[in-house]
Chains A and B, each alone.
Chain A
Amino acid sequence: MSHQPVKFYQTGTFTVGNRLLTPESRTVQASEARANALNSGHRACQGCGEALGARYAIDAAMRAANGRLIAANATGCLEVFSTPYPESSWQIPWIHSLFGNAAAVATGIAAALKVRGEAQTRVIAQGGDGGTTDIGFGCLSGMFERNDDVLYICYDNEAYMNTGVQRSSATPPSARTATTPAQGAQPGNTFGQGKNVPLIAMAHGIPYVATATVAELHDLEAKVERAMAIRGARYIHILVPCPLGWGAASQDTIRLARLAKESGLFPVFEAEFGEVTSVSKIRRHVPVDDYLKPQRRFSHLFGPQADPQTVAHLQRLADRNIRRFGLLADGDAPERVPVPEQADERHAAPA
């Protein structure tokens, strides 16, 4: 397959880069020489955060690996929209096996490369939250436990989007999905459930864990680069808004990712060997309402049947994150080993 170079008209202003920066300080995306691993022509929805996240992350990884990268992809939106028969957007060696085994397939690829002495070729496993936090959890944990030389990237849009927006263990409390409808006494997803995979990854003691969003391209690329400089099991969890699933305007994707971080609901941080090593501070703190209101999956909390109690509950989650991770400039220092928010929810739940 011949490599197809980037044409800037197809990628928008974000990728042209800040002309006031020196070339070295510009993003990978700003370079015409970037790998363009996920080529245009894929079938992602307008405003898809995952397509953005994947393009940013994989091109950064390709630069770090000098073009020698193999990717194992779980079933999900990314896999489906990037390989619509008979086409493929991928310009790198790429394999899709099953929904729950991306981490294990990547382990196998890494083992093959190791046996062949091909130390320069690196391996990425990637999947959505469904394939990572639920059905792929066993294989993910196994890969972490063995410290296999794999970078796992989770594109978290907080539900099983490709199959029609069903709830996953990454779905935030009170969010509406097809299997947590906004009906009845407790509309939307339940409080006190779910799991925090970045913290679980940290509990495995792996060399590098980071969270990121598609709103901060420099930060995301830097984290991928840092991860690629490390050998062993690494995990990056990227928040990728889904306009369709979240019920948001397609042009709001990056803005929503930013608001998730600025409200404190999505802490952006790095950790090494189980302890938080750096935190991305909130620049302009906003109440959770600003983040929730533009999304129809939370619309049952506002409007005629407003539920200020639940909104307040979500605000408390955000405040807890701010405290635990030290997200405000003048706030607490980050907890070296934070506790997952679900633990507090269960603790507080009535007997």
Chain B
Amino acid sequence: MLEQIEGSRAVAQSVALCRPEVVCAYPISPQTHIVEALSELVKTGRLAPCEFINVESEFAAMSVAIGASAAGARAYTATASQGLLFMAEAIFNASGLGLPIVMTVANRAIGAPINIWNDHTDSMSQRDCGWIQVFAETNQEAGDLHLQAFRLGEELSLPVMVCMDGFILTHAYERVDLPSQAQVDAFLPRYEPRQVLDPAEPVTIGAMVGPEAFMEVRYLAHAKQMQALERIPEIAAEFRAVFGREAGGLVRSYRIEGAETVVVALGSVLGTLKDTVDELRDAGMAVGVLGVTTFRPFPAAAVREALQGARRVVVLEKSLAIGTGGIVAANIKTALAGLPAAIHTVVAGLGGRAITRASLARTLHAAVDGTLEALSFMDLDWGLVNRHLERERARRRSGPVAEALLRDVGTVAARVS
């Protein structure tokens, strides 16, 4: 049914339709509306039977999900940014134990400096933890990906992280088509665990594994993610058949046929990119877009296939590996090894800085003109940066960086004396 609702609510309703049995969450912007909506659904009995647990930290949230999942219940939680880091130990534990927990990550930057706005630093920081990671382009897809996540996760016994841009998607009102309970029940069967804590058939879960078998256990986790590469498109196809729309999958291309230049990106910025590309195409530029929907497992073959005809690839990413450069770009480069395409990393939107059509167009023109560097930072205020570097050169006690920059920008009251 078509509704005009907030992204968070669309996700909460979608998750509720999946019949989670244990929902445990700790509040953090910008995920709060999701768990608030779920608590409302549980309190009013619209989501039942379900235990909603208010936990004391994100570490507890993931741990409660681990216990619940190990005991055979369908478990769900949501977090962002600092919260994701706070549960880092438990995230590895969940994937290491092979528990099919589904978690929404409302993508947000990581401090210091504290920043509540959107970028992908949080998910990227956990990209190798063994969870499947998928990125939603719209709120419709955000809701739909949760259905697919439970299905995929439970089938493979792997946890799944559904990433959606904080504020940009979570707090945006837009049109969403919410499925019916009957449709979801047909698509998502009851959870049948591979392992479960059951007094009738006792098992030991979480024993220590030494050098004699650890490599094999780790490899099996990797092998399972490789299986996911096969299953994800199949599940997306099944989803399309049942619900009548596209959602999920490994990658999604837009106007890539005959594109000399292809922009690669994840998440909501793909929408703005498509509008930009339409304008540029109208003006004669042979440019297209490749959206990466599944980031882990990394769909190297699909990416290579989509980009093999491109002369240049511009990886637009909302993350930065301090000390080296692009994160998504590094994965793209590996996938395209041996191909002649020039690869540019454009870091944009960190900490919620808006990514505009104008800036995107400028960047793409530069790429085509050959003036785009290998690594660039969209809309970076070089004046601000250089002034601070000079400050640091001039004086040892240059103070906290953030305060110095904010003072320069004029948002902090100047000293009286």
Is this pair of chains taken from one and the same complex? yes
Answer yes or no: B150 CB below 8 A from chain A CBs.
no
| Residue among A92, A111, A138 having the largest count of chain B Cβ atoms under 10 Å | A111
Answer yes or no: B212 CB below 8 A from chain A CBs.
yes
The answer to whether B60 and A101 touch across the interface, beta carbons within 8 angstroms, is yes
The answer to whether B209 and A67 touch across the interface, beta carbons within 8 angstroms, is no
Answer yes or no: A85 CB below 8 A from chain B CBs.
yes
The answer to whether B21 and A80 touch across the interface, beta carbons within 8 angstroms, is no
The answer to whether B63 and A105 touch across the interface, beta carbons within 8 angstroms, is yes
- CB under 8 Å from chain B, chain A span 62-86: 67-70, 72-73, 79-80, 83-86
Bound CA–CA A69/B199 (angstroms): 6
| Interface-located stretch among A48-56, A139-147, A224-232 | A139-147
Count of chain B residues with a beta carbon within 8 Å of a chain A beta carbon: 44
Which B residues are in CB contact (< 8 Å) with A104?
55, 59-60, 63-64, 67
The answer to whether A108 and B24 touch across the interface, beta carbons within 8 angstroms, is yes
| Interface-located stretch among B70-78, B108-116, B322-330, B391-399 | B70-78
Name B's A-contacting residues (CB within 8 A): 21-22, 24, 49-51, 53-57, 59-60, 63-73, 75, 89-90, 93, 97, 197-199, 201-210, 212-213
- Mostly helix, strand, loop or mixed at chain A's interface? mixed
| Interface-located stretch among A16-24, A113-121, A275-283, A295-303 | A113-121
Name A's B-contacting residues (CB within 8 A): 1, 67-70, 72-73, 79-80, 83-86, 88, 90-98, 100-101, 104-117, 121, 138-139, 141-142, 145-146
What residue of chain A has the Cβ atom nearest to residue B92's Cβ? Answer: A98
Across the interface, B198 reaches (CB within 8 A) one of A86, A90, A93, namely: A93
What residue of chain B has the Cβ atom nearest to residue A108's Cβ? Answer: B67
Across the interface, A111 reaches (CB within 8 A) one of B68, B197, B201, B213, namely: B68
Bound CA–CA A101/B89 (angstroms): 10
The answer to whether B56 and A85 touch across the interface, beta carbons within 8 angstroms, is no
Which A residues are in CB contact (< 8 Å) with B56?
138-139, 141-142, 145
- With A1-B202, A116-B73, A142-B56 as given contacts, are A105 and B208 in contact (CB-CB < 8 Å)? no
Across the interface, A108 reaches (CB within 8 A) one of B64, B89, B198, B208, namely: B64
Q: From residue B214, how far is it (CB to closest CB) to chain A in Å?
A: 9
Closest 5 CB pairs of A and B: A108-B67, A142-B56, A104-B63, A96-B206, A112-B73
Q: From residue B197, how far is it (CB to closest CB) to chain A in Å?
A: 4
- With A98-B89, A111-B51, A112-B21 as given contacts, are A83 and B204 in contact (CB-CB < 8 Å)? yes
Which B residues are in CB contact (< 8 Å) with A110?
67
Bound CA–CA A101/B21 (angstroms): 20
The answer to whether A88 and B207 touch across the interface, beta carbons within 8 angstroms, is yes
Which A residues are in CB contact (< 8 Å) with B51?
111-112, 114-115
Bound CA–CA A141/B198 (angstroms): 27
Which B residues are in CB contact (< 8 Å) with A96?
205-207
- With A97-B66, A104-B59 as given contacts, are A109 and B206 in contact (CB-CB < 8 Å)? no
